[in-house]
């Protein structure tokens, strides 16, 4: 409608001006008062971490866990590379997987079709492991109108007339895609990841108010669940293919590296001897992430800069998964434990801090 278009254009113009004004404020007014060093220190970081997790963690212990987790994942990748080709390094295995014709998709339509087919079959298979009633048993795979390279999920409307959707924002000029890197992404964004989590919350209108169902989001709970879901798919046998498993391990390695650098840098912890020891600095951190993130230079630069100004957020993925796994392990000791019932009960509570989730499930 012309009136709606006009209103949207006015809103877009006002928003653009607001961002320009904010940019000027940061550069001209605030910059002179900025701290001289980038690390925020342990006291501030503890608060930031608790905000993203909804849980109190021991920062030194979690930093060491991140280092151990990174070693575990890298060793597992080396073992998988050996199964792909005897004597192959991790990097060589990645090249071999990308070159396999059966793992290639050409064009965004082929990508969308593949995502939709995998999502549909996964939902059917997961009915035996999760409570997936209509109308939450539908997810749409979409190619986003933007071109920034992001992959994300948007939840359904309250009445599910608009289903949950997985979006892939394909960069301009990119026309070939590899399934080995993205199978685990479909599980992360769809079922049993974000869609199962968010749709279950949306369905529970009897117990959760509109704010709890539509607006509340605790990163450690939400992203932790999605990573837990990826691990669960390996546990259930859906990532037994060496290529798909390598893709999952790549994603896990990135999240573990974020734990190490984010906590280590901001809290002033000592870097591993293999990275020169001493207190973390920006140069060491960049080289560290470069070694562990299987990403383009553009994505690496974005990740590095983004998280320097967002302390505590990056580790919430892997640390959130760890807490979800610990909560499950605690309940597995109970007589008559049933995994499907546990998952349903936990997800029906909606998003919340992970310390609160642990208490609510006891």
Mean pLDDT of 32-38: 85
Render pLDDT for 107-151 as a digit per residue (tens, 0 to 9): 999 999 999 999 999 999 999 999 999 999 999 999 999 988 889
Which residue in the block uniquely carries the two structure tokens 């959760």?
208
Provide the sign of the torsion angle of the four alpha carbons 279, 282, 287, 291, taken in this order. positive
Integer Cα distance of 155 and 136 in angstroms:
10
| Residue 296: pLDDT over 90 | no
pLDDT for position 106: 97
Give the CA distances from residue 62 to residues 21, 73, 271, in Å, rounded to whole numbers and listed in that order: 39, 16, 14
- When the pLDDT of each residue in the chain is averaged and rounded to a whole number, the result is 96
| Domain locations along the chain | 59-246+318-360
- Whether 306 has a pLDDT exceeding 90, the answer reads no
pLDDT at 298 over 90: no
Predicted local confidence at residue 352, as pLDDT: 98
First-to-last alpha carbon distance for the chain, in angstroms, is 53
Strands 164-168 and 139-143, bridge-based pairing: parallel
- The answer to whether the CB of 239 falls within 8 A of the CB of 184 is yes
pLDDT tens readout for residues 316-341: 999 999 999 999 999 999 999 999 99
Burial class (CB in 10 A: 0-12, 13-18, 19+), 211: exposed
Q: Hey, CA dihedral for 316, 236, 194, 350, is it positive or negative? A: negative
Query: Is the Cβ–Cβ distance between 139 and 194 less than 8 Å?
Result: no
For helices 42-53 and 316-332, the axis angle rounded to 10 degrees is 60
Confidence of residue 274 (pLDDT cuts 50, 70, 90): very high
Q: What is the mean pLDDT of residues 247-253?
A: 98
- Dihedral sign computed on CA atoms, order 299, 305, 310, 316: positive
C-alpha–C-alpha distance, residues 355 and 362, integer Å: 11
For the entire predicted model, the pTM comes to 0.93
């Amino acid at each position: 409608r012309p009136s709606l278009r006009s209103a949207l254009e006015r809103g877009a113009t006002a928003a653009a001006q607001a961002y320009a004004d904010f940019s000027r404020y940061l550069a001209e007014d605030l910059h002179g008062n900025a701290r001289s060093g980038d690390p925020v220190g342990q006291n501030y970081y503890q608060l930031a971490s608790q905000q993203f997790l909804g849980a109190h963690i021991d920062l030194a212990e979690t930093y060491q866990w991140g280092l151990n987790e990174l070693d575990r994942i890298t060793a597992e990748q080396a073992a998988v590379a050996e199964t792909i080709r005897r004597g192959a390094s991790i990097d060589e295995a990645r090249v071999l997987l990308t070159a396999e014709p059966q793992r290639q998709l050409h064009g965004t339509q082929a990508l969308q079709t593949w995502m939709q087919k995998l999502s549909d079959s996964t939902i059917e298979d997961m009915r035996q492991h999760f409570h997936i009633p209509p109308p939450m048993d539908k997810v749409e795979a979409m190619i986003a109108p933007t071109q920034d390279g992001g992959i994300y999920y948007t939840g359904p409307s309250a009445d599910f007339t608009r289903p949950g959707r997985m979006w892939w924002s394909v960069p301009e000029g990119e026309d070939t895609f590899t399934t080995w890197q993205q199978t685990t992404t479909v599980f992360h964004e769809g079922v049993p990841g974000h869609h199962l989590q968010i749709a279950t919350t949306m369905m529970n209108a009897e117990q959760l108010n509109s704010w709890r169902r539509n607006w509340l989001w605790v990163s450690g709970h939400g992203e932790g669940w999605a990573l837990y879901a990826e691990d669960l798919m390996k546990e259930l046998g859906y990532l037994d293919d060496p290529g798909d498993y390598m893709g999952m391990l790549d994603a896990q390695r990135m999240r573990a590296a974020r734990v190490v650098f984010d906590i280590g840098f901001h809290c002033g912890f000592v870097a591993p001897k293999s990275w020169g020891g001493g207190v973390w600095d920006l140069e060491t951190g960049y080289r560290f992430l470069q070694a562990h993130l299987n990403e383009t230079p553009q994505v690496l630069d974005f990740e590095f800069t983004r998280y320097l100004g967002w302390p505590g957020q990056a580790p919430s993925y892997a640390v959130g998964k760890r807490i979800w796994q610990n909560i499950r392990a605690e309940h597995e000791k109970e007589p008559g434990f049933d995994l499907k019932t546990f998952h349903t009960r936990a997800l029906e509570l909606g998003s919340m801090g992970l310390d609160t989730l642990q208490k609510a499930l006891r």
